[in-house]
């Protein structure tokens, strides 16, 4: 089972595109796998024949478990039979009671013999040779205990080792909360960097007790007959819960709000529609204008295009725009890469394509990972205004509300009907100060109230 996302720990094999015995080529789609975020097509890593299928459609297995075998015809079966023989022989050696009895008799005889010989004077070397076999036999039955170490001698070494481990800030904080020693965690990130999922995987290993480090959990609510049901979290909802807790608790949020005059924006949209744009299946929407303006404003105020990373702030060269998309099981944030190099039309087409594939769970891992910042728009659902939670490690997120008619005072001090759109900006105060966020929103307002600038 391949690891198709940074948070994936298990996957569901939705369907096989090839049957047992079919020949496959490297890069050819052979299966569909559902992760905690999307359903993805999985390509064959090499040329050969699909000689074995270990997991049937609908089966759920952990990352790294066998799901199939690609090789030459007959290779898998030969290997399987060999593995079975080895496993069977190993099992016989360990669990066969007859073998255990024979070994016990031999051990007892050797112990008696060595005891008798130790009564006679003998060289040290001979005595060691005679007494060695019982010792070796006892080691098989009882694990060797490590010699006791003085208290406190190990702590400084562990601390220094932990300090040298490459780990993300979220992973370090989580390790402290769960009582996990980072020096014992195998990192799966770039250059062996320890990630949040690595820490959680280590903490969930059998025998590890992390309950003292966790806050007390409330008892499960009892559901009475006819009053509802207790629904277990899906993989996606678990990830959403973990990500939001990792954001809202440690990230110092603060919020800025503006009301934009959406009249010029609606006028530009109406002009495009009257010019025949409305007949186009991929017509440009008000949200497309907002996305383009958010990107261009980040280019004008590049300091907001950043994230916090321990003892540094990472300044991004490209504006990778995340788009919040509501799907049946939760939320996905597809990313438009290097959006500053794309026109309004290109952003519009990419946004629609990504949203469509997100809702149908047909996305590739690289299409929803990363991102400089995110835009979440609930205006189409009738929400006047709202504030969103930052998607870490991003520096901010924009929350776009609905366009509504309101009485406003114009330049002639007359009360007229105006169109207003509320925009909230949730900022990570470690990266963005109030003045910097205000500068960004000022540029964003200017672009949205002068939409012709977005067509250049």
Question: Distances from the Cα of 78 to the Cαs of 49, 96, 132, 205, in angstroms?
Answer: 14, 26, 40, 33
Q: Which residues touch 255 (CB under 8 Å, ≥6 apart)?
A: 387, 424, 425, 426, 427
Largest CA distance in the chain: 119
SS3 sequence of 173-210: HHHHHHCCCHHHCCCCCHHHCECHHHHHHHHCCCCCCC
If 0-12 CB within 10 Å is exposed, 13-18 middle and 19+ buried, where does residue 286 land?
Answer: buried
Q: Cα 48 to the chain's mean position, in Å?
A: 31
Backbone angles phi, psi at 282, to 5 degrees: -105, 50
Q: Which residues touch 101 (CB under 8 Å, ≥6 apart)?
A: none
Helix (H, G, I), strand (E, B) or coil at 456: coil
Helix axes of 434-448 and 286-300: crossing angle, nearest 10 degrees: 130
Q: What angle do CA 165, 144, 200 make, to 5 degrees?
A: 30
Catalytic residues: 429
DSSP 341: G
């Amino acid at each position: 089972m391949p690891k198709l996302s940074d948070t994936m720990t298990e996957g569901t094999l939705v369907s096989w595109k090839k049957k047992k015995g079919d020949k496959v080529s490297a890069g050819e789609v052979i299966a569909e796998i559902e992760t905690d975020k999307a359903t993805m097509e999985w390509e064959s890593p090499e040329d050969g024949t699909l000689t074995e299928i270990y997991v049937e459609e609908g089966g759920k297995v952990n990352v790294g478990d066998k799901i199939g075998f690609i090789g030459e015809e007959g290779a898998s079966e030969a290997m399987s039979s060999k593995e079975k023989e080895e496993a069977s022989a190993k099992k016989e050696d360990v669990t066969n009671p007859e073998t255990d009895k024979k070994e016990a008799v031999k051990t007892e005889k050797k112990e008696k013999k060595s005891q008798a010989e130790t009564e006679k004077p003998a060289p040290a070397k001979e005595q060691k040779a005679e007494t060695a076999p019982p010792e070796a036999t006892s080691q098989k039955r009882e694990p060797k205990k490590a010699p006791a170490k003085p208290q406190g001698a190990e702590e400084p070494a562990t601390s220094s080792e932990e300090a040298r481990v490459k780990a993300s800030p979220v992973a370090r904080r989580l390790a402290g909360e769960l009582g996990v020693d980072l020096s014992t965690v195998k990192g799966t990130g770039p250059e062996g960097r320890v990630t949040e999922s690595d820490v959680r995987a280590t903490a969930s290993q059998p025998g590890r007790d992390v309950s003292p480090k966790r806050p007390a959990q409330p008892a499960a609510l009892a559901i009475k007959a006819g009053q509802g049901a207790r629904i277990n979290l899906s993989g996606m909802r678990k990830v959403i819960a973990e990500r939001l807790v990792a954001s809202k608790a440690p990230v110092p949020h603060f919020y800025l709000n503006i009301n934009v005059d959406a009249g010029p924006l609606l006028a530009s949209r109406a002009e495009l529609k009257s010019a025949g744009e409305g007949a186009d299946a991929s017509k440009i929407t008000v949200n497309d204008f907002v996305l383009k303006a958010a990107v261009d404003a980040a280019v004008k105020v590049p300091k907001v295009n950043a994230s916090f990373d321990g003892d540094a702030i990472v300044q991004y060269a490209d504006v990778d725009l995340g788009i919040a998309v509501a799907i049946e099981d939760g939320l996905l944030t597809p990313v438009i890469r290097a959006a500053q190099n794309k026109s309004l039309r290109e952003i519009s087409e990419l946004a629609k394509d990504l949203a469509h594939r997100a809702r149908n769970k047909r996305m590739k891992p690289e299409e929803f990972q990363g991102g400089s910042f995110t835009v979440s728009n609930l205006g189409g659902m009738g929400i006047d205004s709202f504030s969103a939670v930052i998607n870490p490690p991003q520096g901010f997120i924009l929350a776009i509300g609905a366009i509504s008619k309101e009485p406003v005072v114009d330049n002639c001090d007359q009360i007229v009907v105006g169109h207003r759109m509320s925009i909230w900006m949730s900022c990570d105060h470690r990266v963005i100060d109030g003045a910097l966020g205000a500068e960004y929103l000022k540029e964003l307002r200017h672009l949205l109230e002068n939409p012709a600038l977005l067509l250049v």
